[in-house]
Amino acid sequence: MEQNRAEPPIEAAAPSALAPRVPGRPSRARPAGSARSAADVAGATGHAPGPGGVGQGPGNAGAVRGEHVHSEPSPPKVVPQRYSVRAQILEALRTALLAGELAPGEVYSAPALAERFGVSPTPVREAMQQLASEGAVETVPNRGFRVAEHSPRDLAELAEIRALLEVPAVLRLARTVPVERWAELRPLAEDTLEAAARGDCTAYAEADRVFHRTLLELTGNRQLVAVAEDVHRRAQCSAVRVAPVPRTTDLLAEAADHLALLEALTDQDLPAVERLVRGHY
């Protein structure tokens, strides 16, 4: 009996901020010597197994009890794994924006970016349209996308919106969530502290979003979580354009707010909770 051969995986280039990695397809190899069940036999022959465990269809008319009948094993079911190139491009573009690799006011065409990523222009255009809806870039007809420029007023307005969304939500959580739940968020707060200690602004921005999103998810309000995260992203992009690159000491102070907030929530100290949330933006 011929043994099935595994399909070799597709090798991908090493990932980078502007070159997302597309993983290879899963192997379809079937382990050698694996036996088929009675249901497999019935499905392959169209007949239920007989007393000897072999289908009693026309192909096995001469089979008797105890006789070995050899058949080719049926291929295993393969669950396809789908990877979104658009999602990877979107993540890489967001990272490039936060890192300042895409300069404010500059126009970038989808074909040029697609060449840098090693993909077709379509997922780049789709990702850029998403960034345009978030206010990070602007569409320039027949040219591409311009990285948006923001003012201090933009940053102040976004900070006000975040406060209006998050302060009441977190205060309600402080009154209703069992205090032991706050310990579950401590590893996320520590992630922000570690990124801040390294002075890694991009990693800090991601860890900061994860902490705030997980905190607000405790409200059970999916729309609130989605809107708050959108405003959070806009604020981060605005900060990159307006404020100077934060120093490590600034990041550490902001990260320390997360740990202090968890302590205030555990103590159910509502004035401290409100002060820390309002002063965080």
Q: For the chain, what are the domain ranges?
A: 85-147, 152-278
Which residues have CB under 8 Å from 23's CB, separation 6+? 12, 81, 83
Which residues have CB under 8 Å from 117's CB, separation 6+? 18, 19, 20, 89, 92, 124
Q: Does the reported pTM lie above 0.85? A: no
Taking residue 49's Cβ as centre, other Cβ atoms within 10 Å add up to 17
Q: For position 18, what pLDDT does the model report?
A: 52
Is-same-fold flag (85-147; 152-278)? no
d(CA 276, CA 258): 9
Three-state DSSP string of the chain? CCCCCCCCCCCCCCCECCECCCCCCCCCCCCCCCCCCHHHHHHHHCCCECCCCCECCHHHCCCCCCCCCCCCCCCCCCCCCCCCHHHHHHHHHHHHHHHCCCCCCCEECHHHHHHHHCCCHHHHHHHHHHHHHCCCEEEECCCEEEECCCCHHHHHHHHHHHHHHHHHHHHHHHHHCCHHHHHHHHHHHHHHHHHHHHCCHHHHHHHHHHHHHHHHHCCCCHHHHHHHHHHHHHHHHHHHHHCCCCCHHHHHHHHHHHHHHHHHHHHCCHHHHHHHHHCCC
Query: What is 152-278's CATH topology?
Result: Four Helix Bundle (Hemerythrin (Met), subunit A) (1.20.120)
Selected from 2.40.110.10, 1.10.10.10, 1.10.1740.10, 3.20.20.70, the CATH number assigned to the domain covering 85-147 reads: 1.10.10.10
Yes or no: say if 237 and 135 are a contact pair by the CB < 8 Å rule: yes
Closest CA to 281 of 114, 158, 187, 140: 158
pLDDT mean by block of 10 residues, the chain; 281 residues:
41 42 40 41 42 43 45 42 76 87 90 92 94 91 91 93 97 96 97 95 93 98 96 89 81 96 97 95 83
When computed from its CA atoms, the radius of gyration of the chain, rounded to whole angstroms, is 28
Collect contacts of 160-167 with beta carbons under 8 A, ≥24 apart: 161/231, 162/228, 162/231, 162/232, 162/235, 162/281, 163/277, 163/278, 163/281, 165/224, 165/227, 165/228, 165/231, 166/212, 166/216, 166/228, 166/277, 167/274, 167/277, 167/278
